[in-house]
DNA sequence: TCTGGGGTCCTAGGACCC
DNA sequence: TCTGGGGTCCTAGGACCC
């Protein structure tokens, strides 16, 4: 029996959510109706476009470009800062509604969900999706696109067809008409690099890709070639993965520094501050890490990474950060540093203790200290406790993660 | 006023063992 | 001194997604 899958995609998510929040808190201006973007702070070198309103699209503004460049295209552009914790609440509020329609929902990202809708009839799909879309608009104040098909890939391609506030179907029999004329880079998993290579091979549309010999694509692009060949022909059969059923493979945190750092100690402090949010997150996820990697981006934008697999796995902030600093010292060439990151891989369950013949009193103590610090911060706030090394340092004691504090619960009615 | 941050997966090469 | 192949694990980098 054929499946029915919905893909729900919030239109200009960050910008819409900012707009709705502002309206609900007394603003008379709807950001969605003017050239506006959500953007980072150029002062701290986070100045890129994160989301844009549709009027700003008319100026040719693209997600990911610099605010400087966006302002050149539209000097009157309204720029608002991101509010990540509010986005999480908005996303949760939407998922709560989706759950009334299906027990199997996969949160693909903060603003996209797949829904297994196999319990409805194909001929009812469009009206159910339309009802869902309209309800989200009425109750939460923002628009979504809903894509409908028999699989996740085509549902996702469908939700991308025409925006905003639309329901589209993209069944196999509609591919030739709706999907194949599209440019190659519109296909899921074909990014700018691959699109360029394909164009050089005279493949410009998804239809042309679908008609290219799969074995040729496999030869040229290996496994990846086989995959995009299947995608172009609508072949894909993965299931909708309910929340909590997907195992976390890795976890990381990184940050662009407000200016280039040229001394080792400041870089170490940044790594420590990343660890102060990252390792507690690891512990909250019930994991410990066996592999740790450090990433450096230099001021010329070249970047390097190095990883180290420990003989055991750990969730101790002090131990892991000691490793991170040691790795940094190994790999740093002394050039100015623009960006630093740490990530963990080979995660294991936290409570699967590896017994040691000789109890290590130092690590026992460090583990207890981590627990106490987690507890104090949970009860008294993140900044109730900071490492002494940050007292006289320009580096903030915490970096990455969610920093929004002034959130007021999102009103579900306008 | 040049270019964010959090993920996943794949590849190629090397180490090491049998 | 030179010559094998298979399997597994690790590493650095790069592609893609949002």
Inside any domain, residue A411: no
Burial A295-306 (b: 16+ CB within 10 A, else e): bbbbeeeeeeee
Q: What is the pLDDT of residue A1?
A: 76
pLDDT at A104: 97
Residues with CB under 7 A from strand C: A 108-109, 111-112, 156, 188-195, 291, 293, 303-309, 346
pLDDT tens track for A203-220: 999 999 999 999 999 999
With respect to residue A408, please indicate whether it lies within any of the assigned structural domains: no
The nucleotide minimizing the C1' distance to residue A249's CA is: B8
Is residue A397 one of the residues assigned to a domain? no
The last residue of a domain, from among A37, A67, A83: A83
Q: Kindly state whether residues A274 and A337 are assigned to the same domain.
A: yes
- Note whether A324 and A271 are within 8 A (CB): yes
Please give the protein residue whose CA is closest to the C1' of the nucleotide B2: A66
Q: Which nucleotides of B are covered by protein (CB under 7 A)?
A: 1-12
Is pLDDT of A411 > 50? no
Would residue A116 count as lying in a domain? yes
| pLDDT per residue as tens digits for the range A50-60 | 999 999 999 99
Separation in Å: C1 C1' and A313 CA: 43
CA atoms within 13 A on the CB side of A408: 9
Q: Which of A232, A263, A282 is the last residue of a domain?
A: A232
Contact at 8 Å (CB) between A240 and A115?
yes
Task: List the single protein residue with the shortest CA to C1' distance from C17.
Answer: A189
Examine residue A409 and state whether it is found in any structural domain, yes or no.
no
User: Annotated binding site of A for Mg(2+), which residues?
Assistant: 9, 111
* A200 & A293 share domain: no
Q: How many angstroms separate the CA of A302 from the C1' of C13?
A: 12
| pLDDT confidence of residue A251 | 97
User: What pLDDT, on a 0 to 100 scale, did the predictor assign at position A370?
Assistant: 76
Statement to judge: residues A198 and A256 lie in one domain: no
Estimate in Å the CA A271 to C1' B7 gap, whole number.
Answer: 20
Number of domains in chain A: 3
Residues 6+ apart with CB under 8 A from A321: A271, A272, A275, A279
Looking at A43, A100, A106, A112, which residue is catalytic? A112
Tens digit of pLDDT for each residue in A140-197? Answer: 999 999 999 999 999 999 999 999 999 999 999 999 999 999 999 999 999 999 999 9
pLDDT computed for residue A405 by the predictor = 30
Is A380 inside a domain boundary? Answer: yes
Instruction: Note whether A99 and A228 are same-domain residues.
Output: yes
- Domain harbouring A220, CATH code: 3.30.70.270
- The candidate with the shortest Cα–Cα distance to A8, out of A178, A183, A158, is A158
Q: Which nucleotide is the nearest neighbour of A338, by CA and C1'?
A: B3
Is A79 in the same domain as A91? no
**Last residue of some domain: A28, A56, A83?**
A83
**Together in a domain, A74 and A118:** no
| Residue A68 and residue A92 in one domain | no
Q: Are residues A49 and A66 in the same domain?
A: yes
The 8-class DSSP code of residue A164 comes to: S
Residues A100 and A79 in one domain: no
Q: Is residue A247 annotated as a catalytic residue, yes or no?
A: no
CA distance A228 to A214: 9
Statement to judge: residues A386 and A285 lie in one domain: yes
Q: What is the mean pLDDT of chain A?
A: 90
Q: What is the mean pLDDT of residues A72-89?
A: 96
Task: Kindly state whether residues A200 and A303 are assigned to the same domain.
Answer: no
Quote the pLDDT of residue A295. 98
Split at pLDDT 50, 70, 90, the class of A384 is low
Let me know if residue A404 belongs to a domain.
Answer: no
CA atoms within a 13 Å half-sphere pointing along the CA-CB vector of A46: 15
Whether A410 is covered by a domain: the verdict is no
Nearest nt by C1' to A291 Cα: C10
Same domain for A72 and A109: no
Query: How long is the CA A112 to C1' C18 vector, in angstroms?
Result: 9
Give the structural domain span for A203.
5-11+87-232
Cβ atoms A155, A238 nearer than 8 A: no
Nucleotide closest in space to A111 (CA vs C1')? C18
């Amino acid at each position: 029996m054929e499946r029915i899958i919905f893909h729900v995609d919030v239109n200009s998510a960050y910008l819409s959510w900012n707009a709705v929040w502002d309206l609900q808190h007394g603003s008379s201006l709807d950001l969605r109706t003017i050239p506006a973007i959500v953007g980072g702070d150029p002062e701290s070198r986070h100045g890129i476009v994160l989301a844009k309103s549709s009027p700003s699209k008319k100026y040719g503004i693209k997600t990911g470009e610099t605010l400087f460049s966006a302002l050149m295209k539209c000097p009157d552009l309204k720029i608002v800062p991101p509010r990540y914790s509010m986005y999480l609440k908005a996303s949760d509020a939407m998922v709560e509604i989706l759950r009334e329609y299906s027990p199997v929902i996969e949160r693909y990202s903060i603003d996209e969900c797949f829904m297994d809708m196999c319990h409805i009839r194909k001929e009812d799909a469009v009206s159910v999706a339309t009802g869902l879309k309209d309800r989200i608009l009425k109750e939460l104040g923002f628009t979504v696109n809903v894509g409908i098909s028999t699989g996740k890939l085509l549902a996702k391609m469908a939700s991308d067809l025409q925006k905003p506030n639309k329901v589209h179907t993209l069944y196999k029999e509609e591919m030739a008409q709706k999907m194949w004329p599209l440019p190659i880079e519109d296909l899921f998993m074909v990014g700018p690099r691959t699109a360029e290579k394909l164009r050089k091979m005279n493949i410009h549309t998804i239809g042309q890709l679908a008609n290219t010999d799969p074995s040729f694509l496999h030869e040229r692009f290996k496994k990846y070639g086989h995959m995009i060949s299947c995608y172009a022909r609508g072949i894909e059969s993965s299931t909708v993965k309910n929340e909590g059923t997907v195992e976390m493979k890795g976890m990381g945190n990184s940050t662009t520094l407000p200016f280039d750092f040229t001394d080792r100690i400041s870089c170490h402090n940044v790594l420590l501050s990343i660890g102060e949010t990252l390792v507690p997150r690891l512990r909250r996820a019930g994991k410990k890490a066996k592999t740790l990697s450090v990433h450096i981006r230099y001021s010329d934008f070249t970047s390097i990474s190095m990883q180290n697999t420990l003989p055991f796995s750990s969730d101790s902030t002090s131990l892991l950060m000691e490793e991170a600093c040691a790795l940094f010292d190994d790999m740093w060439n002394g050039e100015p540093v623009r960006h630093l990151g740490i990530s963990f891989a080979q995660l294991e369950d936290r409570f699967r203790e590896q017994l040691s013949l000789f109890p290590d009193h130092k690590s026992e103590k460090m583990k207890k200290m981590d627990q106490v610090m987690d507890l104090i911060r949970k009860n008294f706030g993140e900044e109730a406790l900071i490492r002494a090394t940050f007292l006289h340092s320009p580096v903030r004691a915490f970096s990455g993660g969610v920093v929004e504090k002034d959130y007021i619960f999102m009103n579900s009615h306008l």
